[in-house]
Amino acid sequence: MKRILVSLLVLSLIFTTFQALPTAGQVTVENELVLISSHTKDILDSFKVAFQKYCKDVRNTTMTLTYSSPSSEDCYKLAKEWAGKPKADIWWGGGVNLFQVATNDKLLMQYKCKDWAKIPNNLFGISAKDADGSWTGYAVSGFGLAVHLDYLKKYNLPEPKTWADLLNPVYSEHIIMCTPARSGSTHMMVEIVLQGMGADAGWAYLRKMAANVGLFTSRSADVINDINKGEHGIGLVVDYYGFQSAIAGLPVKLVYPSDYSLANPDSIAILAGAPHPEAAKLFLDYLMSEEGQKLVMGIEQRGVKCPSPRLPVRTDLALPSYLPDITKMKMITYNEPLANDRQRDVNSIYENTIEKKHAELKDAWKAIQSAKANLNELAGKGYDVKDALGRLSAAEVLFGQGDYQKAKTEVEAVVGLAKAPPPYETYAVIVVAVLVLVAAAFFLYKKKKKAK
């Protein structure tokens, strides 16, 4: 009997061992996954829990998922630094441009997830996935202005509706934003302006708008954190930050600028040489599945709800009522090759002529605005300000080109060019005096003539 029990135990162990082994053609999935992502902790935590539950419920495996949260630009820098021997498996979050650069640098692994065919090739003129599978969009991001309604009331500020509105001097120091070199979403907003207005007019606008910026942040997530606290009134953000704040009950509203808008796929990729490639593929399969896309939209899955709902990249799924239909937005005609070719140049120009010269920029623009106010006042008093306005216009052109010192030098000469009006009051007194003298002389003449 004892011998039979031992035999059964041995057979049971052998059977269990063979069950655990992969069958022919089946790939063993690692039980560990490491992400680098520009997303906020609450987004990452919700997907971490949901994915771990999915692995347990569906695959009967335990998955350990860890992450770190550098900016999207820093994610690219890390991938570049690791050069095919990464310390993470997945890079998650950021505009298409950076992922396309990383593809050209051969930093990404090609993988087409199970629902690849359900992901559109393009959205609004922008690639929604790489043709060879190096990356894919997983959500769609619009870009706009997060406004703190109580802050606007406190400072008696109007709600901005357009990019052009942000040039209003009343917004000075009330705007907060990140920079394009540190944030993929901010880079896309800068590109929207440049393509919507044209390069020269766009750069001039960005420099003028920067004069109203009170703070440049280290990361794009810092912008919405600041707005949520009511420390500034207007922040340039990716749209889902605004949705998240509003759903949380904060007095924050997301405004899509009505003059120039665009929606851009937010992307994800497996890093070339990923230490846990099969776990990374499984995560992509999950994220792009119907369940994963519903979680993206903030619809509860496996008892988990993402606190920051977003528009899904898949167009075959119904949207919940709280997400907008961005197809009704006024979109620019986006030139993707142009954006890709000048990606680094745009970041460099912004950093070197706007961010690093912010104090000089603000000082020059303040001088221009002050001169403009003085000329308006003098014009009301009858001064001839035509030449002065021409000089001031030249100063604005120099400012728009980033030559703040020359612009300020031009401004210093502006008010002196205003010509005082002729002294009409003095002329009137003289004319009256002359008329009185003439009348008196005529009276005396008549009197003498009569006396004769």
At 144, give phi and psi (nearest 5°): -165, -155
| Per-residue model confidence (pLDDT) at position 11 | 46
Q: Where exactly are the structural domains of the chain?
A: 26-139+265-326, 140-263+330-350, 357-417
| Per-residue model confidence (pLDDT) at position 436 | 58
28 or 427, higher pLDDT: 28
| Per-residue model confidence (pLDDT) at position 16 | 42
Rounded CA separation 363/377 (Å): 21
94 or 359, higher pLDDT: 359
| Per-residue model confidence (pLDDT) at position 404 | 97
Mean pLDDT along residues 66-85 = 94
Distances from the Cα of 61 to the Cα of 29, 45, 57, 64, 412, angstroms: 9, 19, 8, 10, 72
Query: Taking Cα atoms as reference points, which of 7, 6, 64 lies closest to residue 31?
Result: 64
Mean pLDDT along residues 396-425 = 83
Query: Taking Cα atoms as reference points, which of 105, 108, 92, 99 lies closest to residue 128?
Result: 99
26-139+265-326 and 140-263+330-350 share one fold: yes
Distances from the Cα of 45 to the Cα of 210, 308, 344, angstroms: 34, 11, 32
Q: Which two tokens stand for residue 88?
A: 């993470």
Residue 304 in contact with residue 50, Cβ under 8 Å?
yes
Q: Among residues of the chain, what percentage have pLDDT more than 90?
A: 66
CATH for 140-263+330-350 is: 3.40.190.10
Q: Among residues of the chain, what percentage have pLDDT more than 70?
A: 87
**Mean pLDDT, the chain, as a whole number?**
88
| Per-residue model confidence (pLDDT) at position 19 | 44
pTM score, two decimals? 0.72
Rounded CA separation 387/364 (Å): 20
Residue 260 in contact with residue 330, Cβ under 8 Å?
yes
- H-helix segments, 155-264: 184-197, 199-210, 220-228, 239-247
| Per-residue model confidence (pLDDT) at position 40 | 86
DSSP calls for 244-300: HHHHTT-SEEEE--SSSB-EEEEEEEEETT-SSHHHHHHHHHHHHSHHHHHHHTT--
What tens digit of pLDDT does each residue of 258-301 get? Answer: 898 888 899 999 999 999 999 999 999 999 999 999 999 999 99
What tens digit of pLDDT does each residue of 16-70 get? Answer: 444 444 444 568 999 999 999 999 899 999 999 999 999 999 999 999 999 999 9
| DSSP assignment letter at 331 | B
Give the model's confidence band at 425: pLDDT under 50 very low, under 70 low, under 90 confident, else very high.
low
State whether residue 330 is helix, strand or coil.
Answer: coil
| Per-residue model confidence (pLDDT) at position 6 | 45
What tens digit of pLDDT does each residue of 218-255 get? Answer: 988 899 999 999 999 999 999 989 988 988 899 999 99
The angle subtended at Cα 407 by Cα 405 and Cα 411, nearest 5°, is 115
Q: Which range in 239-243, 383-387, 420-424 is most confidently predicted, on average pLDDT? A: 239-243
Rounded CA separation 275/269 (Å): 14
Residue 405 has pLDDT above 70, yes or no: yes
| Per-residue model confidence (pLDDT) at position 141 | 85
What tens digit of pLDDT does each residue of 325-358 get? Answer: 787 777 888 898 999 899 999 999 999 999 999 9
Mean pLDDT along residues 416-432 = 61
What tens digit of pLDDT does each residue of 105-136 get? Answer: 999 999 999 999 999 999 888 899 999 999 99
| Per-residue model confidence (pLDDT) at position 126 | 87
The angle subtended at Cα 283 by Cα 262 and Cα 104, nearest 5°, is 55
| Per-residue model confidence (pLDDT) at position 5 | 46
| Per-residue model confidence (pLDDT) at position 438 | 61
Mean pLDDT along residues 419-440 = 60
Place domain 26-139+265-326 in its CATH homologous superfamily: Periplasmic binding protein-like II (3.40.190.10)
